Amino acid sequence: MKAKVTLLIGHRGVGKSSLLNRLQSYFKEQAMPAQTIDLDEYIETKANKSIADIFENEGEAKFRELEVVHLNELVKNAHTRLFISAGAGFLGPYPDGVDIVHVKRQTDQNGRVFLDRPRLKKNLSAFMEYINLYSLREQHYQKHCHRSLCLQEGLVNNSDYENLFFGLTKKNIGGLYTLFSKDITNIKKILDWGVDKLELRTDLLPKETISDLIKKLPSDKLLLSIRNKNIDLKAKYMDWDTCLGAPNQNFHIISSHKKFSTFDQTIKYLEQYSSQCDHLKLAIPIDSIDELIKYHEWHLLNPTKNAFLPMSDDGKFSWYRLIQKNNVYPNFFKTTGSGSAQDQPFFYDWALNNFKTINGFAAIIGYPVIHSWTPNYHYNFFKQRDMPVIKINLSEDELTTKNLDFLTKLGLRAGAVTSPLKIKMKELVKNTKDKAVNTIVFKDKIWHSTSTDGFGFKKVSTQLTNSEPMVLWGAGGVISAVKESLPNVVCYSARTGQPRDGFLKVKSPQAVIWGVGRKLHQNWPNSSWKPKVIVDLNYSEDSPGKEYALMVGAEYISGESMFVGQALKQQEFWSNYLDA
């Protein structure tokens, strides 16, 4: 190998091929030579046959042999900067000296359904095939990669954070990054991101490694976090965990991860050490927004000293940490799936969003929202108005007047609302004739709202004019929007599998408008139905609507055009208030 080679690995549908295209444009913009190769396409060209044909006629084992042979050939003959993407099923062996990047998205774990890719386990449904392969492949990717890059959902345009990740630009993104063993060879790249400090945790790195890094790296860029007893290492900046007992000296940070039965006990336990440190860090599991508000108020009592970092099993409070990016020290971000805490924001959010703005922020609000394209799609719109746009996990029970007021105080000024919160949000804001709300904006001390779902649905409804009878399966929050375009549609409850009140049964619909996501999916429509068209109101790749289209052999129309239609109308609505 005569040139640096980067191998992109990751699950099916994660976006490795699209990333290759963007990498090519990044290097072109920098007037730097680079080559990008999709290994599957390269094999098809060499074999003069499709991947599907190789699988069908020669078997998977033969295809895996071709992957190894051609990958090694490409690496051996590389004479310029080279990026290669491998198929999801390629699990090595990997050539020596290659930089292996695990390309991932948060939705990898949710599953994906493909309409036009070779099947490996035809005895399983398209969705279960992915799920069946996920765990083994994920473990392999994490074990063998040198670093991970988590992509935004819906990314199609060039992005600053990808340039930053691959070392084509430099930026001061701030924050702290916890080093793991596989990060050691990438320390220079991480420092080039402009982080405040690298955290060296004594429970994550060998003592010898930490000692060596303390000697080699700038002291102002290191935070030594003591997480084991009988550690004799020293650094300019140190963090003591109270689980080890009372500190025997002064520290830069004193941390508590202990939650008592009451708020007062939890705070009192940590504050007893206030005189022995510059910063108190409280990183504890939080069960509700009510709890979050209490501990946030503690932070506000002494914002330069009291650092509150909420924790959860599923990372649902990462939005709060991100909002507090420049208000809380210490504050951490991650590049891998879990980092050293699930609620640490991902690198792309941390690098792209600046919370020094005085104009507030925008958000997609719902639960779950990890699949949402909203932050990426509206990024440039809000960037022009000096407003970050983020994802806020909020369940239906958590959407209350008190909690909406809390978000407003934090700086929320514009929002997109997703199911199942649309009807509940209408009840809170009350100043709209729409039966459900998917768009809100704060102006003149009140929330203004509307629904743009109808505009989005018009983008797809024209393809259904000759498809009666039609059924809307689920999607109670958009019934009025759908009926506005298709007054004869028959609405079914996806939960019961029966027509909603006021509608008669349909014997055999020509089209099914699919309106339920994976999380709420319980039943398939009547097995006697043989629709010719499935219009999916979802654009998520795990949508049961995709699976249903495969099951019945129907044409599939994604909810992507609906998303774009309603999103453009959202921007028009927001502009009327934000730009007034």
- 155-164 residue pLDDT tens: 778 889 999 9
Q: What is the mean pLDDT of residues 273-302?
A: 97
| CA–CA distance, 341 with 269 (Å, rounded to integer) | 22
Structural domain count, the chain = 4
Out of 153-162, 302-311, 394-403, 493-502, pick the least confident. 153-162
| CA–CA distance, 12 with 21 (Å, rounded to integer) | 17
| pLDDT at position 580 | 82
Tokens of 28: 């072109």
- C-alpha 154 chain-centroid distance: 10
Tell me whether residue 124 is in a domain.
yes
CA angle 323, 360, 294 (to 5 degrees): 45
Looking at the chain, the whole-number percentage of residues with pLDDT higher than 90 is 82
Looking at the chain, the whole-number percentage of residues with pLDDT higher than 70 is 99
Query: Cis omega before residue 509 (within 30°)?
Result: no
Q: Which domain holds residue 51?
A: 5-151
| CA–CA distance, 170 with 161 (Å, rounded to integer) | 10
| pLDDT at position 280 | 98
pLDDT at 374 over 90: yes
Find the DSSP H helices in 475-543: 479-485
Q: How many other C-beta atoms can be found within 10 angstroms of the C-beta atom of residue 143? A: 10
Question: Best-predicted range by mean pLDDT among 1-10, 48-57, 266-275, 390-399?
Answer: 266-275
Half-sphere exposure of 185 (CA within 13 A, CB side): 9
| CA–CA distance, 277 with 286 (Å, rounded to integer) | 24
| pLDDT at position 52 | 87
**Sequence-ordered strand ranges (E) for 108-236:** 147-150, 176-178, 197-201, 222-226
Whether residue 381 sits in one domain with residue 316: no
Q: What is the CA radius of gyration of the chain?
A: 26
Whether residue 307 sits in one domain with residue 168: yes
Whether residue 374 sits in one domain with residue 447: yes
| pLDDT mean across residues, the chain | 93
| CA–CA distance, 78 with 82 (Å, rounded to integer) | 7
| pLDDT at position 117 | 83
CATH number, domain of 423, equals 3.40.50.10860
Residue whose token pair is 């209490």: 294
Half-sphere exposure of 387 (CA within 13 A, CB side): 23
Tell me whether residue 579 is in a domain.
no
Contact 530, 508 (CB under 8 A): yes
pLDDT at 194 over 90: yes
* Secondary structure (3-state) at 496: coil
- Which residue among 388, 417, 451 closes a domain? 451
Q: What is the mean pLDDT of residues 36-40?
A: 97
- 309-327 residue pLDDT tens: 999 999 999 999 999 999 9
Whether residue 556 sits in one domain with residue 464: yes
Instruction: Choose among 330, 336, 311, 284: nearest CA to 103.
Output: 336
Q: How confident is the model at residue 364 (pLDDT cuts 50, 70, 90)?
A: very high
Residue whose token pair is 């680079």: 34
pLDDT at 557 over 80: yes
Whether residue 385 sits in one domain with residue 471: no
Residue whose token pair is 């904006």: 441
Contact 377, 154 (CB under 8 A): yes
* Structure-model confidence comparison of residues 433 and 313, the more confident one: 313
CATH number, domain of 513, equals 3.40.50.720
pLDDT at 1 over 60: no
Whether residue 123 sits in one domain with residue 172: no
Whether residue 281 sits in one domain with residue 240: yes
Whether residue 185 sits in one domain with residue 327: yes
CATH number, domain of 263, equals 3.20.20.70
| CA–CA distance, 550 with 533 (Å, rounded to integer) | 11
